[in-house]
A and B are shown apart, each in its own frame.
Chain A
Amino acid sequence: MKRAVIMITLAACLTIVLAGGVVRAQSTSPTEIDDEHQARIVANCVSAKQAIRQVQRYDAGLRVNHGQVYEALSARLMSRFNTRVDSNGFNTRSLRAVTEFFDKSLDEFRTAYQVYARSLSSALAVDCAKDPVVFYNAVSEAADARETVHTSVQKLNDTITEYRSAFDAFKTAFIERTAL
């Protein structure tokens, strides 16, 4: 009985270790690209790099503009409204909870953009004529990082909607209270 338990435990540990290895191997192994595909990458790599540079410039402007909009929403509107409501003796728990979540999401957005910008620069640094596979994988990584930024933007936008709902609830409660 004791031996069986030891065997099962060992088997479970081995499975976890092997599964971890497979997952790691899948996440780090580069995409296999045949010769024909590599030739296509080399042929189009100059125009691809130009397009990436355009995306890099466009996204840099977008990051600054959108970052300002989100920061202004948090610091100049949401936080100030919460403070004013709080100082007038109203309950701001739900408004504050959403604002805190928004600030956390804003930090995630900043970090995600940093990762994306670095991966884009790394992709541009690769000599695509010499290393088409490395270039392809670096571009794929940058595309994934950009998707992460997009997800963080959606999260921020969802949080804005949540704040709006919390604000509407507060407004309704306020009107009902003053009507009494």
Chain B
Amino acid sequence: MQESPQPIDDQQLGFWQQHRYLLLIVFSVAISVVLVGVSMTLYYTSGAEQLDLSRPGYEAVAEQVEEDAGTYDSYSAIGDINEDSINEFEELFTGQAKRATDVDAFGGSPLGPEALGID
């Protein structure tokens, strides 16, 4: 004959066993807080924050960002070197270099005291 399990009295359990569900929740929350803290630290220190245009106030800027996939051509690292392959590279490089050098990025003095009216 099989013995039926006996109910355990709360007083027979230790402190940790009595509060095991509460402790599970507290530890889970604590671990999540630590992990979120680590990821936020990485987000700020790695510079990802500055590239994140989904931040509030940057929605309009996000629309101006060029789509990477379609706009940048790649040159194959495999293959022969002949006049055609050199000319192909030259064409791609010239186009891309023009993109980089055409605009005087971060030039001018928009943060100068005169420009801001605080001179």
B34 at the interface (CB under 8 A from A): no
B7: CB under 8 A from chain A? no
A72 within 8 A of B: yes
Instruction: Flag whether B5 is at the interface (Cβ < 8 A).
Output: no
Instruction: Look across to chain A and name the residue whose beta carbon is closest to the beta carbon of B60.
Output: A57
For chain A, the bracket of interface size reads 35 or more
Contact B116 A52 (CB under 8 A): yes
Q: Across the interface, do A80 and B76 meet the contact criterion of CB distance under 8 Å?
A: yes
Q: Of the 9-residue stretches B14-22, B23-31, B35-43, B66-74, which lies at the interface with chain A? A: B66-74
Chain B interface extent, by class? 35 or more
List residues of chain A with CB within 8 A of the CB of B103: 62, 66
Contacts of A113 in B (CB 8 A): 47, 50
* Beta-carbon contact of B76 and A64 below 8 Å: no
Q: Provide the main secondary structure of the chain B interface.
A: loop
Contact A90 B81, CB 8 Å, known A73-B96, A77-B92: yes
Q: Among the listed B50, B53, B73, which residue makes an inter-chain contact with A117, where contact means beta carbons less than 8 Å apart?
A: B50
Residues of A within 8 A of B (CB): 40-41, 44-45, 47-48, 51-53, 55, 57-70, 72-73, 76-81, 83-85, 87-88, 90, 110, 113-114, 117, 135-136, 139-140, 142-143, 146, 149-150, 153, 156-157, 160-161, 163-164, 167, 171, 174-175, 178
Binding site for A on B (CB under 8 A): 47, 49-51, 53, 57-58, 60-62, 64-66, 68, 72-81, 83, 85-86, 89-90, 92-93, 96-97, 99-101, 103, 105-107, 109-113, 115-119
Q: Is the CB of B106 within 8 A of A153?
A: yes
Chain A contact residues: over half helix, strand or loop, or mixed? Answer: helix
B98: min CB distance to chain A, Å: 10
Known: A65-B65, A70-B100. Is A136-B93 also a contact (CB below 8 A)? no
